[in-house]
Amino acid sequence: MDKLTPPGTDMPSWSKEDGGSRVPYWVFQRDDVLEAESRKIFQGPTWNFLCVDAELQSAGDFVATYVGETPVIVTRDADGELYAFENRCSHRGSLLALEDRGNVKDFTCVYHAWTHNLQGDLVGIAFKDGIGGRGGMSKDFCMEGRGPRKLRVSVVDGLVFGSFDEDVDDIEDYLGEAVLGRIRRVLGGRKMVVLGRFTQVLPNNWKLYVENTKDSYHASILHTFFTTFEINRLSQKGGIIVSENGGCHVSYSEIDKVAEAEKPKKDIYSDQKIRSKSDLQLADMSLLKSFKEFDDDITLQILSVFPGFVLQQIQNSIAVRQVVPKGTDSMHLNWTYLGFEDDTPEQRRARLKLSNLIGPGGYVSMEDGCIGDFVRRGTKGASEEQAVLEMGGRSIESGDDRITEAAIRGFWSEYRWRMGL
């Protein structure tokens, strides 16, 4: 990896020896860090999740989304291709799309009626030639090349990614073979259907949530729902995959039928004297009912792509999550729940039940939403202190256990390289 230019000379020091195992809290708190992230990460040579192509079925369909804090429009034009460009008028910078999604023939700005086509090109200016020989644009004004910035677009098994950098690595190389294979395990060869959408407004820095998604260590400790109903326990078979640069990861657990049959009576969580089970029970156990969907016994797979994308498979709940920064102390988490065209009505019902159970208002993601705020509040006034990320050692290697913070260390390794820190 080449060294990139540091964000600023007044940035606090961060020892290179710390790698990804020590993270200073100022990196979550400073406005100049956020500004550098916008330039070097979100608008740099990275691939950012935009939407799923199931939302763009027909010519004229569009989705308004974000890359970092930059508003972006994704469209399908009459040629059948997908295009992405800034949601910004060429004239005075107003938003072009005011709705989250829809179908249009073009984008005409409400401010002064400058018109852009479905590829983002400026194609029309109200009163360009003036009225009665008076006013109008300068005679030498040229509309060509005046449109908002465009993004390079790539699609992986129905997931639409975009990059502001034309020279970014091809998406397949960016993901790596192992991560790409795990995307295809969940989505490959199937036509997606959008079942629902949610947005969580979280009171924490975006990186705290990204850490959380890569943290296989916490999943069955914070989320007692997982351990109570034995959906995910650290004693189960599983592991993590970390990409070569560190920024992409997969965590998974699976049912080991032999081990389950011989399961000891002792509870390893109780032995650790940690909160692991709830006395609460579900009134309707059908909420946990699942069906055989994959050729393996993996019941949970969480996959992330640097900087801010997550693909979730928890039993039959399939969802994608998009991380959108909103300042240093806030973010939006956009969820899209997925099914597939060949789902039976019973399978569709099972997906919806599971998705409601573990979604933003359910038993898992609500806790993840809280914990980021607990960290934000706990580290106020401690900007020079550091988080310790040494569970599983200091390496960022893949492995066959999940009692590790290797994937988080991988994220910080790639983050520091891209930021020049």
In the three-class reduction of DSSP (H, G, I as helix; E, B as strand; rest coil), residue 75 is classed as strand
Dump strand ranges (E) for 90-139: 101-103, 107-108, 115-116, 122-124
Q: Tens digit of pLDDT per residue, the chain (421 long)?
A: 443 445 555 778 898 888 889 999 999 999 999 999 999 999 999 999 999 999 999 999 999 999 999 999 999 999 999 999 999 999 999 999 999 999 999 999 999 999 999 999 999 999 999 999 899 999 999 999 899 999 999 999 999 999 999 999 999 999 999 999 999 999 998 999 999 999 999 999 999 999 999 988 766 666 666 666 666 555 678 899 999 999 999 999 887 655 555 555 445 545 555 555 566 677 777 777 889 999 999 999 999 999 999 999 999 999 999 999 999 999 999 999 999 999 999 999 999 988 887 776 666 777 778 888 999 999 999 999 999 999 989 999 998 887 899 999 999 999 999 999 9
Give the CA distances from residue 31 to residues 26, 326, 329, 330, in Å, rounded to whole numbers and listed in that order: 10, 11, 10, 12
Distance CA 348, CA 318 (A): 11
What structural domains and CATH numbers belong to the chain?
48-154 (2.102.10.10), 190-419 (3.90.380.10)
Packed helices 365-378 and 206-213: angle between N→C axes, nearest 10 degrees: 130
Position 274: which residue type?
I
pLDDT, tens only, 16-48: 888 889 999 999 999 999 999 999 999 999 999
Helix H or strand E segment including 374: helix 365-378
Please state the separation of Cα 399 from the chain's center in Å. Answer: 23
Distance CA 28, CA 17 (A): 20
Which is it for strands 309-314 and 317-325: parallel, antiparallel or unpaired? antiparallel
Whole-structure pTM value: 0.91
DSSP 285-348: GGGG-----SSS-EEEEEEEETTTEEEEEETTEEEEEEEEE-STT-EEEEEEEEEETT--HHHH
pLDDT, tens only, 253-307: 887 655 555 555 445 545 555 555 566 677 777 777 889 999 999 999 999 999 9
